[in-house]
Amino acid sequence: MSAAIFAKYLSDGRRSLTGWAVGIALVGMVYGSTYPSQRENTASLPEALREGLNIDASAAGYLHASVFGIVLPLLAMIYGVTAGTRAVAAEEESGQLDLLLAHPVTRTQVAAERFGALSAGAVGVGLLVWVALLAIRDSAELTSVTPVEFLAQCLSLSLLAILFGALAIGLGAAVGRKAAVLVGSAVIGVVSYTLHAFAGQIGADWLAYVSPFHYYIGGQPLRHGFQWVDMFVLAAAALVLFGLGVSRFNRRDINS
Amino acid sequence: MANVIELHELTKTYGTRRGLTGLTLDVRRGEVFGYLGPNGAGKSTTIRLLLDLIRPTAGHVSVLGLHPRTDGLALRARVGYLAGDFVCDGRQNVRGYLQFLGRLRGGVPQARIDELAERLGLDQSTSIKKLSKGNRQKVGLVQAFMHTPELLILDEPSAGLDPLVQQTFLDMVAEAREGGQSVFMSSHIMSEVEAVADRVGIIRDGRLAAVDTVENLRTGAVRDVEVTFESPVSVAQFSEVPGLDRLALDEAGTTLTGQISGSPDAFVKALALHTVTGLRATEPALEELFHSYYAGAEDAPRTETAPAA
């Protein structure tokens, strides 16, 4: 199996990928460097939220609340959904998928090579965020978090992007409509975040386990380093979503 | 194997909408087959079924002896395909794009790509995004021909091409046949298929309305005739001649006009009884014949000779 589709997909998307990676890393840097001035503000958050999300005045607590709690995962999810939509649904709607699938390639192969490219991009984004945060680690007084702990959180960020990428590719492969993919992914994204943030408050802790956010940040990689089980759950969920979508893809008509 | 395409009782429905209803058709190895029909008649549906882009509701499809669903990879490796509305993407230039498509086929020699591009007048250094409709169609033609497939499946291949390039394309099709390749090409314009096709199938409302050689179709087609006689004749003298229709005489009674279908033999023999000073017969108008298949068909609008693609 040649990697031509994988390579072309990365090359076609290199500008937007670079934009995403640099953009997300910059946002991480800017937010991260406000820690010295903002650390006391974490106290103003509602206590239940602070407890639920493990927020306190430490560097890890601050990063949990702001950088890795909302902004970066949101951007990472949007990256995943955008790239995932482009992989099948957008091309199918514009009619370009016909040409590719008229070649001696299988539908599974097309989807898998593009998922691979998307995942490589997501890892690239995570690594760039890591480098960016290491660059401000001293100046922003974030030294209580080790580089390995930063890396663990950044790679969990990559996995979150990959999971939502898999969701978008899977939905696109299953239905082939861009609008359906975007709406479906957005709804699932919002529900995931809500469950993670508020499951504790409504007295249904178990609900949080349904949310990908729980596996992304619930184990507090910034305090405890790599959470292998959580990362495995994210990766496995991504593969399941991808697999479900592709199995439908192989059985349906390509829209003209 | 004598047939490159075999369709048997092929039916495709989209929800409640009909695509094809019981289409049976064979395309022989080594022939150029013209697949004619107006937009919406089911041409693209048939072609997309051949390539496993869509799956039949019922019936059987075989391409090069292979089943599209189960042998898709092997089948598509031996086929060149040009989509009806060929679209391509990317920031690459034409050369890079064609090389990419070639890699999907395990590599195509650059010399072959260059030769085809040059022939069609396609500048390979242009960015794919900036191509005009006609030039994009040329990219589509190059990628369909470049690996010299056993079977070319071309959906409205000359859409958007200027007349000169259209001629080049027809030459390429004729050469492909000489080289032993088979060609299945669809069109809604009779004249473009007439020039190269060995046989023509006409599809209407998802069914095959007619299939025959171009020659036979031409024989069955209608010619306009006009005969001038030295002395006046009467219509009644010719009304018994088979195949003659719409006879009319001018006021002087010396110029007879009408239409003749099928062999003109009987008419010529009837004329031999008179002194004929002038005779004019038009080329059989296949376009007319083509239209006659659609007369009365509800969802098949009469096509003009050159409708917008």
pLDDT digits (tens, 9 = 90+) for B260-308: 877 888 888 889 989 999 998 877 666 666 666 666 444 444 444 444 4
For the cut 80, the answer to whether the pLDDT of residue A43 exceeds it is: no
* CATH placement of domain B222-283: 3.30.70.260
Domain count, chain A: 1
Q: What is the pLDDT of residue B304?
A: 40
Match 């096709």 to its residue by tokens: B197
Reference B244, options B231, B226, B218; nearest CA is B226
CA angle B100, B103, B107 (to 5 degrees): 130
Is the predicted pLDDT of residue A202 greater than 80, yes or no? no
Confidence at A84, pLDDT banded by 50, 70, 90: very high
Please check whether residue B19 is in contact with residue B42, taking contact to mean a CB–CB distance below 8 angstroms: yes
Average pLDDT (B25-34) is: 95
Nearest to A4 among B51, B53, B104 (CB): B104
Please give the pLDDT value at position A82: 94
Whole-Å CA distances, A33 to A91, A182, B288: 40, 33, 78
Q: How far is CA A247 from the centre of its chain?
A: 23
pLDDT one-digit tens code per residue, B153-191: 999 998 888 889 999 999 999 999 999 999 999 988 777
Out of B44, B86, B92, the one facing A256 most closely (by C-beta) is B44
Please report which confidence band the pLDDT of residue A92 belongs to, taking 50, 70 and 90 as the band edges.
very high
The pLDDT of residue A73 = 94
Interface of A with B (CB under 8 A): 2, 4-5, 8, 11-12, 15, 91, 94-96, 98-106, 253-254, 256
Q: Which fold has domain B3-213?
A: Rossmann fold (3.40.50)
* Interval A49-59 mean pLDDT: 71
Q: Quote the CA–CA distance of B114 and B308 in Å, as a whole number.
A: 30
Q: Are B83 and A102 within 8 A, CB to CB?
A: yes
Provide the H-helix boundaries in chain A: 4-12, 14-32, 35-38, 47-52, 59-65, 72-85, 91-94, 97-101, 107-136, 147-175, 178-198, 205-208, 212-213, 221-224, 228-249
Average pLDDT (A69-85) is 93
Domain-embedded: residue A55: yes
Residue A254 lies in a domain: no
Give CA–CA dist A91/B112, Å, rounded. 28
pLDDT band per the 50, 70, 90 thresholds, residue A107 = very high
Determine the average pLDDT of the residues in B86-94.
Answer: 84
Neighbours of A248 (CB within 10 A): 15
Give the alpha-carbon dihedral of A160, A164, A166, A170, to 10 degrees.
160
Query: What average pLDDT score do residues A22-33 get?
Result: 92
Q: Is A256 inside a domain boundary?
A: no
- CA–CA gap between residue A91 and residue A61 (Å, rounded): 42
pLDDT at position A149, please?
Answer: 94
Q: Using 50, 70 and 90 to split pLDDT, how confident is the model at A165?
A: very high
Which residues from chain B sit within 8 angstroms of residue A2, using beta carbons? 103-104, 106
User: Which ranges of chain B does DSSP label H, i.e. alpha helix?
Assistant: 43-50, 72-77, 94-104, 110-120, 133-145, 163-178, 190-194, 214-220, 265-271, 286-294
Domain ranges of chain B: 3-213, 222-283
Closest Cα to residue A22, out of A137, A121, A169? A121
Q: How far apart are CA B24 and CA B11, in angstroms?
A: 10
Q: Which residues pair with B183 in a beta bridge?
A: B32, B152
